[in-house]
Amino acid sequence: MVAMAALLMPLAASAQQAFLLPRAQLEINNVTIQAEVAATDASRSYGLMNRMSLPENQGMLFVFEQVDAPCFWMKNTPLPLSIAFIDPNGTISNIADMQPLSLDAHCPTAQVLYALEMEQGWFARHDIKAGDRVKNLP
């Protein structure tokens, strides 16, 4: 029993990590977003894994230490997501839809400093597209 508890503790800590992340209030085309901010290697690696849903207008902002072309996959992520890749000036370079639990790579079309994951279809529902600007980035 103690051994099982010891094995499960890291999983519980990882699951709780999402609730301990700082938040940022972003804006795109007059739509306000509440985003959890994943700015460490650990929080970026865990991302939205194991989430079953996201409240409307809430997502996760990935902040990288330097401009890069990071690719994303959906391993252990049962929630369908859309991702916007964002350059250092806040301009969206491209948006991709990602299927649950898929190992397919989704990459930016340009060097970026941020990526914003939202429930799949969120960007399309709000008519947000490549070239639009994200305000209030950290």
Percent of the chain residues past pLDDT 70, beyond the cut? 86
**For 125-136, what is each residue's pLDDT tens digit?**
999 999 999 999
Torsion-angle region of residue 2: left (phi > 0), alpha (psi -120 to 50) or beta? alpha
Note the pTM of the prediction, 2 decimals: 0.86
Domains and CATH numbers, the chain: 2-135 (2.60.120.1140)
Q: State the distance between the two ends of the chain, measured CA to CA, in whole angstroms.
A: 44
| Residue 44's pLDDT band (cuts 50, 70, 90) | very high
Q: Tell me: the pLDDT tens digits for 53-64?
A: 999 999 999 999
**pLDDT class for 20, splitting at 50, 70, 90?**
confident
Closest CA to 101 of 78, 83, 123, 82: 78
**pLDDT, averaged across the chain:** 90
All residues at 6 or more sequence positions from 9 whose CB lies less than 8 Å from its CB, including other chains = none
In this prediction, residue 19 has a pLDDT band, given cuts at 50, 70 and 90, of low
User: Residue 115: in which H helix or E strand, if any?
Assistant: strand 112-119
